[in-house]
Amino acid sequence: MGGDAQGMVAMLGARIPVTDVIRTASSCKRLPSIPFFLSMESCPRRCVYCHQGEITGVSRTPSPRFVREALVLLREPREVCFFGGSFTCLHEERRKDYLDAVLTAPEGSLVRFSTHPQCITHAILDSLSPYPVSMIELGISSLDDGVLKICNRGYTSELALSAMASVLESGFQLGAQMMIGLPGQTEDSSVEDLRKIAALRGRRERSSVTLRIYPCLVLEKTPLAELMNRGAYSPLALEEGVRRAGRLLFEAERLGFPVQRIGLHETESLSRSVLAGPHHPALGEMARAVAFITWLLESSPYGPWEINRRQISLLRGHCKFGLRFMAERTGLPLSDIETRIRYAAL
Ligand code: SF4
């Protein structure tokens, strides 16, 4: 999956918030990001669920010149992000033009991009060495060969693991973009994927691999919509999507993976084109509640539970979603759950 980040909207005319303050894993400094969407640019093939134009609301690809002209106007360093396409699949010269444009940004700026595992070679990784690359994000989606085939990803899990290993061995930070609810994918296979990535990370720093977790949504004008209409694919219901994302987050945190994001950025274009699947602007927050409650119930199945006041919103937000989930998991009435919670001071 290439496209996640927010848009460079004023200039591109899209309707997405502009900045996203992130922690760069390599430098531990916080740099505001400036994302550019290269909508499905140079993707080796079309993945069945993808329609970047509908996800981001951005259909025009900014040229390297456009990027350069935007970056020379900056006064402070930024993390320049190329999302929504397969950056390392770009023709060598065009890729270099984009990267050279990044060098016109204020000193201290970094660059990150998302790309396809098929376009990771040692020669490509070597060509990145003159640039301040903060992270290479790989659309992994799944490490189950059957799922990859149905999704038309065009490679096997072996190739994806080898691409991830090459990124890490070349000393880059790796971002793995995973998905839930793909055709043919099970909840256990997603957890198994995480274990494989943890094994690959080995003894490296935990922060050397970060994750994004996206739900598989059925968008208009995609092959997945056709599969669904033929009855060959059943999308996850919202509740199931939240539960699976929460479980994956729980397992990811247990394995020590920083999780950068859960769920897609909401855009008008996205909400207009979603036909089915676990689509909710607060999917990430609800998944965090599920992961938190899983942890609470592991430490004490029926309470009492002591929680920090900062975590109240995980239980009470979205019409008491977390408390209702606890009631469902424990079989206790909601009123009873509330009496078993103690709130610790900040
Ligand atoms: S690699 Fe697939 S999911 Fe990623 S942007 Fe290209 S077509 Fe979309």
Q: How confident is the model at residue 116 (pLDDT cuts 50, 70, 90)?
A: very high
CA distance 226 to 38: 25
- Judged against a pLDDT cut of 50, whether residue 23 lies above it is answered with no
Tell me the pTM.
0.88
CA distance to 6, 116, 169, 214, per residue, from 56 (Å): 8, 18, 32, 14
The mean pLDDT value for 97-124 works out to 97
Mean pLDDT, all residues of the chain: 89
Name the segment(s) of the chain with CATH classification 3.20.20.70. 9-279
Determine the pLDDT at residue 2. Answer: 45
State residue 290's pLDDT score. Answer: 97
Cβ atoms of residues 143 and 203 within 8 Å: no
50 lines ligand 1 (CB under 6 A): yes
Distance CA 200, CA 128 (A): 22
Separation of CA 293 and ligand 1 centre (Å): 33
- pLDDT > 80? residue 195: yes
Query: What's the DSSP call for residue 232?
Result: S
High-pLDDT (> 90) share of the chain, %:
79
Give distance in angstroms: CA of 46 to centre of ligand 1: 6
What distance in angstroms lies between residue 149's CA and the mean position of ligand 1's atoms?
A: 14
* Domain 9-279 is found in CATH 3.20.20.70: yes
Burial of 160 (0-12, 13-18, 19+ CB in 10 A): buried
Q: What is the pLDDT of residues 168-193, one digit of tens each?
A: 999 999 999 999 999 999 999 999 99
> Which residue's CA is the nearest one to ligand 1's atom 3?
1
Sign of torsion over alpha carbons 302, 307, 312, 314 = negative
Question: Is the CB of 102 inside a 6 Å radius of any atom of ligand 1?
Answer: no
User: 47-89: per-residue pLDDT in tens?
Assistant: 999 987 666 666 688 999 999 999 999 999 999 999 989 999 9
